């Protein structure tokens, strides 16, 4: 394993909140591969992160040396637009309970994961970390974004007031093993994998894409995100808000054609214009991350092939 330069010792307790999710499970796998031997996890039945007392008791008895907050209520554009109260309430509760709870339990280091939707809707592209709070948010996901912005502000305030080393990282749109393939609540990439697969099997002439297909998005494989998070932990990164992405984007129409090619579906692509487009473009400026020495390894086409294999192993 690579020697941690500024991170916890390999036998130090590291708590991954949200270990059953796509991101949390990728972080656990990456920590295991890195030789970390005391990875703490707790399922929802054992520890409800919305319950402050339960969080306090868990942290007091386990005293992690480092916490990754990968737990969140997440969903695609439609889930966000139709369940805004759930998205803001649950994510605010997780951020408050785990970040303040960590401070009170004496945890010195923590990484809070957010999302690129925290940035203003009409941001100059690529989006630099400086763009935070410089303009209005995209309405379809503003409640979720506000909860994440509150988490960032809380972590920063802990650092200022109490000298903690809590960091916030903002991943771009993610995909990978263990993604959500429920078409009503998923993000676009897993939705397209499922739609293309089902259209191929049923030999239907066309696949339906939501919106115009013109919005542009950047996609990062969850295994790459996990690698970046562990890299930052090992570097002892304690700096300001940091973007994590590939620095490359494509239109949703281009993504649909790429997914169809990987899946082997040769039909047409049609549009359901009753569905929202959301943010016109979300491409992160990843120059700070690159300057720290990290770059993604999984290119999109290869990542989609891996994700399709994962889909087939669960649903094929
Ligand atoms: O991935 P997605 O739901 O999230 O949608 P956002 C991205 C784009 O793909 C939108 C289009 O323009 C959708 O209209 N799209 C096309 C589809 N077909 C489909 C489909 O079948 N399913 C889905 N879901 N989209 C979310 C935010 O925004 O991204 C969250 O709501 C979070 O807060 C997350 O930030 C990363 O990128 O638009």
Handedness of CA 117, 120, 124, 129 (dihedral sign): negative
316 residues of the chain, pLDDT tens digit each: 444 468 999 999 999 999 999 999 999 999 999 999 999 999 999 999 999 999 999 999 999 999 999 999 999 999 999 999 999 999 999 999 999 999 999 999 999 999 999 999 999 999 999 999 999 999 999 999 999 999 999 999 999 999 999 999 999 999 999 999 999 999 999 999 999 999 999 999 999 999 999 999 999 999 999 999 999 999 999 999 999 999 999 999 999 999 999 999 999 999 999 999 999 999 999 999 999 999 999 999 999 999 999 999 998 7
Task: Estimate the crossing angle of helix 84-104 against helix 142-162, to 10 degrees.
Answer: 10
Residues 6+ apart with CB under 8 A from 82: none
Burial class (CB in 10 A: 0-12, 13-18, 19+), 50: middle
Cα separation, 49 vs 237, in Å, equals 25
Q: CA angle 4-65-295, nearest 5°?
A: 40
Burial of 54 (0-12, 13-18, 19+ CB in 10 A): middle
The answer, yes or no, to whether any atom of ligand 1 lies below 6 A from the CB of 148, is no
* CA dihedral of residues 76, 112, 280, 75 (deg, nearest 10): 0
Residue 284 carries which DSSP code? B
pLDDT attached to residue 3: 43
Contact 207, 260 (CB under 8 A): yes
- Name the β-bridge partners of 127: 284
Please tell me if the CB atom of residue 209 comes closer than 6 angstroms to any atom of ligand 1: yes
Record the tokens describing residue 5, joined without a space. 């330069």
191 within ligand 1 shell (Cβ under 6 A): yes
Out of 36, 66, 144, 181, the active site residue is: 144
Q: Is 115 in the pocket of ligand 1 (CB under 6 A)?
A: yes
Residues 6 or more apart whose CB falls under 8 angstroms from that of 88 comprise 143, 144, 146, 147
Ligand 1: which atom is nearest the Cα of residue 80?
31
Residue 187 Cα to ligand 1 midpoint, Å, equals 5
- For atom 33 of ligand 1, the residue with the nearest CA is 141
Does the active-site annotation cover 144? yes
Q: Which two tokens stand for residue 185?
A: 């609540």
């Amino acid at each position: 394993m690579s020697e941690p330069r500024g991170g916890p010792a390999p036998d130090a307790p590291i708590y991954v909140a949200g270990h059953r999710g796509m991101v949390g499970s990728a972080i656990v796998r990456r920590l295991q591969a890195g030789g970390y031997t005391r990875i703490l996890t707790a399922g929802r039945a054992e520890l409800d992160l919305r319950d402050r007392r339960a969080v306090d008791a868990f942290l007091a008895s386990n005293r992690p040396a480092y916490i990754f907050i990968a737990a969140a209520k997440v969903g695609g554009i439609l889930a966000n637009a139709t369940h805004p109260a759930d998205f803001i309430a649950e994510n605010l509760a997780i951020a408050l309970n785990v970040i303040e709870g960590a401070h009170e339990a004496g945890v010195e280091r923590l990484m809070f994961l957010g999302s690129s939707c925290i940035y203003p809707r009409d941001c100059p592209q690529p989006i630099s970390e400086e763009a935070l709070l410089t303009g209005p948010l995209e309405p379809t996901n503003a409640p979720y974004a506000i909860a994440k912005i509150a988490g960032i502000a809380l972590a920063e305030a802990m650092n200022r007031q109490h000298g903690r080393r809590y960091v916030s990282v903002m991943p771009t749109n993610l995909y990978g093993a263990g993604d959500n393939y429920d078409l009503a609540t998923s993000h676009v990439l897993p939705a397209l994998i499922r739609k293309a697969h089902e259209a191929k099997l049923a030999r239907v002439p066309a696949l339906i894409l939501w919106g115009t297909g013109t919005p542009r998005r950047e996609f990062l494989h969850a295994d790459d995100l996990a690698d970046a998070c562990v890299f930052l932990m090992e570097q002892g990164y304690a700096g300001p808000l940091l973007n994590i992405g590939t620095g490359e984007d494509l239109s949703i129409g281009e993504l649909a054609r790429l997914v169809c090619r990987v899946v082997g579906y040769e039909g047409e692509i049609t549009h359901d214009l009753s569905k929202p487009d959301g943010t016109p473009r979300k491409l992160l400026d990843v120059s700070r991350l690159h300057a720290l020495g990290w770059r993604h390894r999984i290119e999109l086409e290869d990542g989609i092939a891996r994700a399709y294999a994962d889909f087939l192993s669960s649903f094929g």
